[in-house]
Amino acid sequence: MGVEIHPGFMQVIQPITYIASGRVWSVTYGIEVLDLPANPQLDINEADDDFRAAWRPLLDSSMRFEPAVGYYQPVGGALELWTSARVAVAGLAARNSPPPQVACVIRKRTANVGKAYRGRIFMPGLLDETNVDELGVISGAGVIAIQARADAWLASRAGILTNLWLFHQKSLVLPTRITQLLVQPIVRTQRRRLPRS
């Protein structure tokens, strides 16, 4: 089930491609289009820049960021599709990553209480096999390094207010501002990311 995009907000999709196979994964989050008058192209470009600046130093060099895509709901009118003007770039970390279905999980936290006000990001390509033990526990140094990048991303979205939002499935629930990103010390898996033989 998709999320509700309220007027004045944009859902951003950050595609990440595994270069050897061409398979694509994505990370999603919400932003508010703050410009007056609205300039969705500027906002999707800036969101893409901030995301890449934060995560590219840790992303496996066998993966690349594709231009971000944004679904923007203007205050008046139909849903619009915008694409970042940035070109595709590969990650900067030469590493032996685990299989693509094994990902680092970053929890999206808000000031509100309850399951509906929490979210998760599954980030592939940030881990080296040497940073994860047989039980799926990420080393302390690995968690610290990823948490530093998560903090940098959240901080980069700070203007007048931090512009990183959690969207909801119920149309009556307004977007909730993300106040904290917490890296989880144990990996998670997503079966759909495992290539089929």
| pLDDT tens digit sequence for 72-92 | 999 888 999 999 999 999 999
pLDDT digits (tens, 9 = 90+) for 20-38: 888 899 999 999 997 778 8
Mean pLDDT over each residue of the chain, to the nearest integer: 89
Which residue is it, tokens 């990902």?
103
Higher pLDDT, 38 or 184: 184
Largest Cα span, the chain: 53
pLDDT digits (tens, 9 = 90+) for 79-134: 999 999 999 999 999 988 888 788 899 999 999 888 888 899 999 889 988 889 98
Helix (H) or strand (E) holding 44: helix 40-55
* Residue 174 near residue 167 (C-beta atoms within 8 A): no
Query: Between 40-55 and 140-156, two packed helices, what is the crossing angle to 10 degrees?
Result: 160
**pTM of the predicted protein model:** 0.91
Residue 1's pLDDT is what?
47
Which amino acid is located at 12 in the chain? Answer: V
Dihedral (CA of 128, 129, 135, 140) sign: negative
Which amino acid is located at 188 in the chain? Answer: R
